[in-house]
């Protein structure tokens, strides 16, 4: 009897190896610039890999994810222009092509984070309110670490180095809205690779931050 396994079973290991290579490129002086140049393309690549393993594509799912991309980019454009949403910050070159001073890939990243955090929390509970609040909280925890890693990777930087408190409030509110939409329109986020990628990325950023704080200095 031949036993077959789902294609996505190998993705978690692939992600670990992929981001391990990324760390090697980042920490090696000769390849550091290459790492910076390919960062936006790798974000697109892993997001495509995740959404390629989504189980139930339909009009509602496409509409929800597209709306998250568009709304997040519009909010970021307003935020960069006014400094009122997340604080005063500017995007660097680390995330590639921009529209209105905001990298296009940032919308895809918001969609992935909302989808993946929802996938993580919904694995442990089926209550809508718990999923929405839990996923939004998880996204804020992710952002606390990401804000430390972003300047090191020339993604973005705040005018006073550390983001203000209302940055995290805005993150939480947007995350609530996005996860409410995912729950309201019953987008199926049962996607094992998405959960793995969320934590692999978290570990990736943590290593970069810890290196900068305790080793580089």
Instruction: Tell me which DSSP letter residue 83 carries.
Output: S
User: What are the residue boundaries of the structural domains of the chain, listed by start?
Assistant: 7-216
Q: In this model, does residue 7 exceed pLDDT 60?
A: no
What are 142-189's pLDDT values in tens digits? 999 999 999 999 999 999 888 999 999 999 999 999 999 999 999 999
Q: How far is CA 90 from CA 38, 146, 151, in A?
A: 20, 15, 10
Axis-axis angle for helices 105-122, 192-210 (nearest 10): 110
The answer to whether 176 and 139 have CB atoms below 8 angstroms apart is no
What are 50-80's pLDDT values in tens digits? 999 998 999 999 999 999 999 999 999 999 9
User: Both tokens of residue 147?
Assistant: 């804000």
The answer to whether 119 and 189 have CB atoms below 8 angstroms apart is yes
Higher local confidence (pLDDT), 131 or 56: 131
23: buried, middle or exposed (CB in 10 Å: 19+, 13-18, 0-12)?
middle
What are 29-50's pLDDT values in tens digits? 999 999 999 999 999 999 999 9
């Amino acid at each position: 009897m031949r036993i077959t396994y789902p294609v996505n079973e190998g993705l978690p290991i692939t992600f670990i190896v992929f981001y391990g290579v990324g760390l090697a490129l980042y920490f090696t002086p000769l390849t550091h610039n290459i790492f910076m140049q390919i960062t936006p393309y790798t974000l697109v690549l892993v997001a495509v890999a995740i959404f390629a393993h989504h189980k139930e594509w339909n009009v509602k799912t496409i509409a929800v994810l597209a709306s998250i991309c568009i709304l997040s980019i519009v909010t970021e454009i307003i935020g960069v222009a006014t400094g009122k949403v997340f604080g005063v910050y500017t995007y660097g070159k680390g995330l590639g092509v921009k529209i209105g001073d905001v990298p296009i890939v940032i919308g895809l990243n918001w969609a992935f984070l909302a989808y993946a955090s929802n996938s993580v929390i919904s694995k442990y509970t089926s209550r809508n309110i718990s999923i929405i609040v839990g996923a939004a909280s998880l996204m804020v925890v992710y952002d606390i670490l990401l804000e430390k890693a972003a300047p090191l990777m020339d993604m973005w930087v705040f005018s006073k180095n550390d983001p203000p408190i209302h940055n995290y409030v805005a993150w939480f509110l947007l995350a609530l809205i996005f996860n409410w939409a995912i729950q309201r329109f019953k987008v199926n986020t049962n996607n094992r690779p998405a959960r793995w990628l969320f934590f692999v990325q978290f570990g990736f950023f943590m290593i970069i931050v810890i290196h900068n704080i305790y080793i580089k200095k």
